[in-house]
Amino acid sequence: MLSKLLRASLLGAACLAASSVMASAQDSLTITTFGGAFENAAAKAWFEPYTAKSGTAIAKEQYDGGLAKLRAMVEAKNTTWDVLDLETNDAIVGCDEGLLQKLDPKVFGDTADFVPGATLPCAVASMVWSTVFAYDTSKLAQGPETIGDFFDVAKFPGKRGLRKSPKATLEWALIADGVPVAEVYKVLATSEGADRAFKKLDAIKGSIVWWEAGSQAPQLLADGAVVMTQAYNGRIFDAAKNEGKPFKIVWDGQVYDFEWWGIPAGTGKTEKAADFITFAAGPEVIGDLSKYIAYAPPRPSSIQKIDPAMVPNLPTAPDNFKNALQIDAIFWADNFDTLNNRFQTWLGQ
């Protein structure tokens, strides 16, 4: 009799434990980002406040961008991500391929309050960021001022850090070769323009240190492995503000873009994911990211809530925007595979 009661008790406890685990799983979201300083800022601005508001725990994962891993998950019917941080061309292609779910327009709220182009059928912009380059002022008293200086190894000897991707790199090569920012994509769309960009890169190929994760760029600079490096503006700001690094950003030729929230196909938590995006993209909190990192909100109504001392550090500040290039997401969605194949071949030559 005792044995039967014990077995019944253990079975009941196991069922309660299983129910608790299931409930816990349902009350959580896995949000995948590029990690590093952005993730830390996003946690303070959005993840932690959302958990406090909804009771939903946030599990964080990191990736280096692209759609390969998401595509594999969807094809295997084993999607473990619930919300995904995306670059623009990946948001467009991911939607076209059915890797991202279409968003209900009510997730966006007032679309008129977003800057043009900041909403897509499968994604909504979370912030405006830019690719810039930076140097260590303690090592270069008279530092570079233009994209041309980045490519001038005679004037500024030493290694350069570059992201291991054709995006922004080919655009910079053309700008350094004299192409006005307004004509960059028109030129790059031609075979002659692509040849011109790779020829310009050839001139500094032996001086390039390639990085893949955003956190590597400021580390290369801090270690003295490079004299200047391409980087995400927020990473350099974070290193300067929070780590006291003597880094200075050169804004000339910055390539700016939106970052996006999307919901992967196959997640079992679509409604909860949409609720998080609605919260994070709301006008009351979307600008809170700028309290912690120098990325700008894509909703103009939120800019007035930002500390005026932070505004000069944002990509959209007037002095930083004089020779800025908005990345052409459609161009890259259409041409990434072709140019990346050529880029990978060039790397191996």
Contact between residue 194 and residue 173 where contact means Cβ atoms under 8 Å apart: no
Nearest to 272 by CA among 4, 27, 5: 27
- Same domain? For 279 and 248 the reply is no
| Sign, CA torsion 270/276/280/281 | positive
How many Cα atoms occupy the beta-carbon half-sphere of 198 within 13 Å? 16
- Tell me the pLDDT tens digit for each residue of 117-140: 889 999 999 999 999 999 999 999
- Tell me the pLDDT tens digit for each residue of 218-254: 999 999 999 999 999 999 999 999 899 999 999 999 9
- Same domain? For 83 and 16 the reply is yes
- Same domain? For 282 and 161 the reply is no
Radius of gyration of the chain (CA): 23
Locate all alpha helices (DSSP H) within the chain, ordered by sequence: 2-26, 36-42, 48-54, 68-75, 88-96, 147-150, 169-176, 184-188, 191-202, 216-223, 233-243, 270-280, 300-303, 329-348
How big is the CA angle at 166 (ends 161 and 171), to the nearest 5 degrees?
A: 90
In the chain, % of residues over pLDDT 90: 79
How many Cα atoms occupy the beta-carbon half-sphere of 141 within 13 Å? 0
Contact between residue 339 and residue 173 where contact means Cβ atoms under 8 Å apart: no
Residue type, position 199, single letter: K
CA distance 95 to 72: 15
- Same domain? For 94 and 242 the reply is no
pTM of the model: 0.76
Crossing angle of the two packed helices 169-176 and 329-348, in degrees rounded to 10: 90
Number of domains in the chain: 2
CA distance 277 to 275: 5
Report pLDDT for 141: 84
Report the largest interatomic distance among the alpha carbons of the chain, rounded to a whole angstrom. 90
> The domain containing residue 111 runs over which residues?
2-128+258-313
Nearest to 226 by CA among 205, 246, 208, 213: 208
Locate all alpha helices (DSSP H) within 55-133, ordered by sequence: 68-75, 88-96
Nearest to 36 by CA among 236, 276, 209: 236
- Same domain? For 204 and 332 the reply is yes
- Same domain? For 334 and 189 the reply is yes
**Helix, strand, or coil (residue 36):** helix
Nearest to 249 by CA among 265, 264, 238: 238
- Tell me the pLDDT tens digit for each residue of 270-299: 999 999 999 999 999 999 999 999 999 998
- Same domain? For 230 and 303 the reply is no
- Same domain? For 80 and 188 the reply is no
- Same domain? For 201 and 333 the reply is yes
- Same domain? For 292 and 324 the reply is no
- Same domain? For 48 and 116 the reply is yes
At 192, give phi and psi (nearest 5°).
-65, -40
- Same domain? For 341 and 222 the reply is yes
**Domain holding 185: CATH number?**
3.40.190.10
